[in-house]
Amino acid sequence: MKTDKIKIVHILEGFVGGLSTYMCNVLPQLARRGFDVTLICSLGRSFPDAAEKIAELRKKHIKVYIIPMVRQINPFIDLYCFIALLRILFKNRFDIVHTHCSKAGVLGRIAASLAGIGIRCHSSHCFAFLRCGNSFTKKVYFIIEKLLARLTTRFIAVSQAEADSAKEYGLFPDHKCAIVNNGLRCKEDPSLSDKSASEITGKTSLEVPEDVFIVTTACRLVEYKGIFVLLEAAKLFRSNCVFLLAGEGKLKPKIEQYIIENDLTKKVKILGHVSHMQKIYKISDVIVLCSELEGQPYLLLEAMRARCPIIATEVEGNKELLANQRGIMVQPEAGKIAEAVDELLADEIKKERLVQNAYDYFCRYHSLENQILQLTDIYKLSLFDIGERKHIEDFIHTNSCIEQSQRRTIKETTAYK
Task: With respect to residue 413, please indicate whether it lies within any of the assigned structural domains.
Answer: no
341 with 383, same domain? no
Side-by-side strand order, sheet with 213-218:
268-272, 241-246, 213-218, 286-289, 310-313, 328-330
Decide: residue 206, CB within 10 A, 0-12 exposed, 13-18 middle, 19+ buried: middle
- pLDDT of 189 reads 66
- pLDDT of 387 reads 53
349 with 207, same domain? yes
- pLDDT of 114 reads 97
Task: With respect to residue 42, please indicate whether it lies within any of the assigned structural domains.
Answer: yes
Number of domain units in the chain: 2
223 with 136, same domain? no
- pLDDT of 199 reads 53
pTM value is 0.87
Residues lower than pLDDT 70 in the chain? 1-3, 133, 189-201, 385-417
What CATH number corresponds to the domain at position 248?
Answer: 3.40.50.2000
Q: Which domain holds residue 78?
A: 7-183+368-396
- pLDDT of 128 reads 84
253 with 299, same domain? yes
- pLDDT of 198 reads 44
- pLDDT of 396 reads 41
Contacts of 132 (CB under 8 A, 6+ apart): 138, 141
Decide: residue 382, CB within 10 A, 0-12 exposed, 13-18 middle, 19+ buried: buried
195 with 264, same domain? yes
179 with 199, same domain? no
211 with 89, same domain? no
Q: How far apart are CA 151 and CA 353, in angstroms?
A: 46
Contacts of 72 (CB under 8 A, 6+ apart): none
